[in-house]
Amino acid sequence: MKGWESHAAAVDRLRESYTAIAPGSPVRLAKRTSNLFRPRSSAVGPGLDVSGLDGVISIDPGSSTRDATADVQGMCTYEDLVAATLPLGLIPFVVPQLRTITLGGAVTGLGIESTSFRNGLPHESVVEMDVLTGAGEILTIAPEGEHADLFNAFPNSYGSLGYATRLRIRLERVPERVSLRHVRFDSADHAIKAIHEICQTGEHDGRRVDGLDGTAFTPDEIYLSLAEFTDAPIDVSDYTGQDIYFRSIQAKETDGLTMLDYLWRWDTDWFWCSGAFGAQNPWVRRIWPRRWRRSDVYHRLVGLDTKLGIVKTLDKIKKVPGRERVIQDIEVPLEALPEFLTWFDAEVGMRPVWLCPLRTTTSWSSYPLETGAIYVNAGFWGTVQVAADAEPGAVNRAIETQVHALGGHKSLYSEAFYDEETFARLYGTVAMDDLRSRYDPNGRLTSLYDKAVRNS
């Protein structure tokens, strides 16, 4: 672990790097990697030095099931965070699916995973944060107190209100293994009835459910994967080798994993997206090193293709008229999920779709979900063929319109196409702009609209 002295030194370097940025110039992170899927303008000049803010500072194991905490630096990945907590039998309340998502990124964005139906989203287990504002101040913010307004607006702000240097989060005590049941449903209507029951009772067929997510392969083949955290001596599978996790969902009614492998079950094959690189071909898989079967490697391959235009060249050879990237996560109310999937099949036609129920315990202005209501995150990632003269982003625009017609919201880690007025209404930027005028009076940080839509 980093320790407090090391953390203080890293914060000093961060402040020095802020001072080195010329007055009037935008303040950005000097960061080469990202889990975002939207274009970003090339940074000009020096950025914020966050190189020393990537670890765990300290862990307080507490004395009961849910009173443990950890002080964690903002650029610490969940891979490194779990590596520090799990040997103590602890994990964050919500561990997003991909290893290199950072704690600060999950809080200022919107992370989610299978425990979200009972624990909400990552920011809801944050006790307090230290944040570098656009004015260059380091402020300690919390749900109550002088800067409670900044704390409550921080989720989904994507750096437009500042950058977290330290976060104190609550941890959950967990056993060593996870027992899985993959329960099949023949329609979305039947699946949402089961989701509602599990969210209300925490059980299914008389057994406790600690983790809940789903995979919709076709309209009549939908699985809910029910995880029970256990110390029982169960057999466990390994999906970091030749076997592939998402395929096991259709093949096995029951399964077992170590807690570590359960947390990263989706990362090895980037859900099912590794197939685009040949990594699911048995022959390729045998020679593809395990250490390179992970989401950040695939993400870099996507970046390489964007730079070299490999897929575009292949499309020309195959005479594909046009292609649009559709990489999105959306939330709709539970009861609206069947209608959304029916529309999605007709208008987009991309399967599988990942399903992750969530229920928030707090409300916040920049992503207004009804507190206590059950929503389902639907994740879909890939490309669709479009006409050569199709309007840029036409499919994504249609998704935005449909999601909000159903009372839902779209995450902003990927491309967005809203006009400024609609965006302000959906993401609460009027209140955010008021905070920006107080905590960033010279406008050093890029606004949320400029980041998410204008990609500046």
Is-contact 37 328, C-beta < 8 A?
no
Using alpha carbons only, give the angle 425, 431, 436 rounded to the nearest 5 degrees: 125
Say how far apart CA 349 and CA 45 lie, in whole Å. 43
pLDDT at 366: 81
Exposed, middle or buried, 414 (CB in 10 Å: 0-12/13-18/19+)? middle
Contacts (Cβ under 8 Å, ≥6 apart) of 149: 435
Residues of the chain with CATH 3.30.465.10: 4-174+434-452
Q: Which fold has domain 4-174+434-452?
A: 3.30.465
What's 367's DSSP letter?
S
| 318: amino acid identity, one letter | K
| Domain 309-417 -> CATH class | alpha beta
Residue 378 corresponds to which tokens in the numbers above? 């639907």
Residues of the chain with CATH 3.30.70: 309-417
Say how far apart CA 196 and CA 422 lie, in whole Å. 31
The label of the residue with tokens 């997206």 reads: 273
Say how far apart CA 207 and CA 202 lie, in whole Å. 8
Instruction: Give φ, ψ of 37 to 5 degrees.
Output: -125, 50
Using alpha carbons only, give the angle 342, 346, 351 rounded to the nearest 5 degrees: 75
Is-contact 168 128, C-beta < 8 A?
yes
Is-contact 174 263, C-beta < 8 A?
no
SS3 state of residue 214: strand
pLDDT at 191: 98
Say how far apart CA 236 and CA 256 lie, in whole Å. 4
pLDDT at 41: 59
Residue 346 corresponds to which tokens in the numbers above? 């007709």
Residue 311 corresponds to which tokens in the numbers above? 């897929």
State the pTM of this model.
0.95
pLDDT at 305: 82
The DSSP bridge pattern shows strands 323-333 and 374-385 to be antiparallel
pLDDT tens digit at each of 456 positions of the chain: 899 999 999 999 999 999 999 988 888 887 666 767 766 655 556 789 999 999 999 999 987 767 899 999 999 999 999 999 999 999 999 999 999 999 999 999 989 999 999 999 999 999 999 999 999 999 999 999 999 999 999 999 999 999 999 999 999 999 999 999 999 999 999 999 999 999 999 999 999 999 999 999 999 999 999 999 999 999 999 999 999 999 999 999 999 999 999 999 999 999 999 999 999 999 999 999 999 999 999 999 988 888 888 788 877 888 888 899 999 999 999 999 999 999 999 999 999 999 999 999 888 878 888 999 999 999 999 999 999 889 999 999 999 999 999 999 999 999 999 999 999 999 989 989 999 999 999 999 999 999 999 987
